[in-house]
Structures are given as C-alpha cells and as structure tokens.
Structure 1
Amino acid sequence: MSSHGTVVRSDASSYKSSTVPSQEPMPPRKPGGFSVDEVSKMVKGCIESRLGGQGTSYSHGSVSHWTAGIVEDVLKQLSVMNDNYKYVATCVIMERNGTGLHTASSCYWDNQTDGSCSVRWENKSMYCIVSVFALAV
C-alpha cells in the first residue's frame, strides 16, 4: 500500500480595517522559528506513525482515536521544537470513496512571526489532512 503526502503552504495575508486599532510592531523573529518545511515533515511522520502501517484501512470506529492521537503527537513534537509559539492543530480523516471535501482557513496575524501549514496524506482507503497554526508568544 503506497502513501504520500502533499504540503500546502499558507501565508495568510494580513489586512487592516479602519475599526482595528493600530498595534505596535512585533519584535524580530528569533532564530529557530516556525519552519513550514520542518513542521510539514514532522506532521507527515506523525500521520504515518498512526496510519502508515501496511493494511491500515479506513475504519469509522477508529477515526476519533486516530485523529486525537495524531493531534496529540503533533502538539508534543511542536512544543519540543520551539516554545515561542502557541499552536493549534486540526486533523480530518475521511474515507476515500469519491466524495469531495473542501476546506479553507483565514488568519488575522503578523506574517513576520506567525505561520501555518497543511499536510495531506492518503492511502488507498482514506485521506488525512492535518493543519497547524503557529502564533508567536
């Protein structure tokens, strides 16, 4: 059974509304900050450790366990990578049966310090999409 992941890069555009008070600029980003490539590789590893075994097929009864485990693994590894961020991680697992799935996200944040990435993983029976949002502390 083959599997592969797709990384979706996301750089949210920030906007200023006339009703939003101006904010002081954030300090420069510290070295070792949010790296889309590094985080995407780590997320893919977390997905594969839970779902990548030979013969892993979609099971409706296992989805809640898989998603919770993947999100926990991702957050544990992110906290070790850099503690200058607060993280939000989401995971969606869907049976691969020909139906469509569309997702979107939007963030109002500082493009210099904050970041996000989404990783899509699939095998013959399911799709898994994990999104990570990193907000500088």
Structure 2
Amino acid sequence: MDTTSDSKRLGAVKLSRVTFRATNRDSDPTALKNPTVAQSSRGTANVKPPPSEGSSKPTETKRPTQSISMSGLLAAQRMTLRLKNQAALRRKARARTPNRKPITIINEQVPSGSANPSQRFPYSLAKELMQEFLTSKLRNLTYDPSTTADLTKNMCEDIKKMVRRVTPPRYKLICNMAIGSKNQEDILMTSQCLWDSYSDNVTSCSFQNSTMFCVVSVFAVYFE
C-alpha cells in the first residue's frame, strides 16, 4: 500500500509537470523570466499607463481647426462697404457746411466816467497826412532863425486845417511844433497831459534835412 501510493504520487507529480510544460511551450521564453510582463501582455494593448507624478512634460491636446465659411467672408465685405459709405457721407456733409463768421466774445469796455464818442480820432491817418505835409514843405528849406517863428505859426494852422478834415465832430485839436538848427546836437521832446485816455488821443511825427529838424504833435480832445 505504501509503495503503490508512493508510485501514484510520483506519477501524478510527473504528469502535472508534463502538462505544465506542454501548455507553456509556445509562450514567449522571456515570460518565464519576467512573469509580470507576460501577464500584462495578455491585457489590452491600447490602454496607456497613467503619467507619473514626477514628469513635467505637458500632455499634447489637438486643437480643432477653424474653418472660414463663404457666408462669413461676404458678411465681412458688406460691413466694410457700409463703413466706407458712412465715412464718405460724413465728409460730404462737412464740406457742404458754410464757413461761419467769427463771433466776437469780448467787446471793448468803456471805462466808467469816460466819454463815449460815436467815432474815435483816427491818429494813424492823421500821422500819414502830417508826414507828407512836412516833407513837401521843409524838403528844400534852409534853417533861418529870423523866419522860423512865422514858419512855425503858419505850419501849425495848416496842419490843424488838414487834420480837421478827417477828425470826427466834437473834437478839439491842439498843434505843437518845434523847429531847430541841426548842428550835431541831440534833442529830446516830451509831453504830458491830463485827459480821458479812452476818448482823447495824440499823434506826432518828425522831419529833418541837412540844416534843420522839425517835430510836430497834434492832440485831439473830445468835448461833450
């Protein structure tokens, strides 16, 4: 009994060994050395292992390609044409508007206590007339002390009559003239008056030739 049982046990062991070798004959010889690799190869090959926590390589994601349709292009062209037409209409509207007259914001203020004449004394025009008169009268004259007094008096009257023609009404004119010899000396003439600086005014001019000089001033005082 003991020997048969031992023989059966040995035969069973041998049979199991032969069966084990027959089933693994066609397998990969590397699977015997690495059984874990053989087990993993029997699974699905499409499953990718999860990325390791230590790896910093970002995962590549495919972006969907953008496609431009023909209707979108036509809509963009229509919008561009509409904006161009609006800009052209605005330019035409600006060109049609007439030039506006300048608006006077600050008016000349009359000081309190001053006279307000309807027309003020034209001092620039009076100066031009006086300059032409002196040039025509004294261009060819020679200084003579004996005739200078009468010459000064007559010229003052002529200048007042001439300036009176361009002077507005209610103005009084005062003419002051000085004639002297020209002998390498310098002369300085000043005047000072107490008057209304808004309505009253003054103009002056001078002339000289090789022998004499002449300085004339005309004061215009408004009288109410």
TM-score, with structure 2 as normaliser: 0.46
Query: What is the alpha-carbon root mean square deviation over aligned residues?
Result: 1.9
Partner of 2:176: 90
Matched, 1:44 2:127: no
Q: CA deviation at 1:28?
A: 2.4
SS in 2 for 1:81: coil
Question: Could you tell me whether the CA contact under 8 Å between 1:46 and 1:70 is conserved in 2?
Answer: no
**Is 1:26 aligned to 2:111, yes or no?**
no
- Counterpart AA for 1:75: K
More helix by share: 2
Unpaired runs of 5+ residues, structure 1, are 1-23
Residues 41-120 of structure 1 mapped to structure 2, 5 A cutoff: 41-53=128-140, 56-82=141-167, 83-120=169-206
Q: Alignment partner of 1:61: what SS?
A: coil
Q: 1:129 aligns with which of 215, 218, 224?
A: 215
Task: Give the number of the structure whose residues are more often strand, by fraction.
Answer: 1
Structure 2 distance, partners of 1:48, 1:63, is 16
Q: Among all aligned residue pairs of Structure 1 and Structure 2, give the percentage whose two residues are the same amino acid.
A: 23
CA displacement at 1:78 relative to structure 2: 2.3
Map of 2:12 onto structure 1 = none
Report the TM-score when normalising by structure 1: 0.72
> Highest relative contact order (Cα 8 Å, sep 6+), 1 or 2?
1
**What amino acid is aligned across from residue 152 of structure 2 in structure 1?**
T
Contact 1:50 1:69 in 2 (8 A): no
Displacement, 1:92? Answer: 0.4
For 1:122 and 1:61, locate their aligned partners in 2 and report how far apart those are by CA, in whole Å: 19
**Larger Cα-atom Rg:** 2
Match for 1:46: what amino acid?
A: F
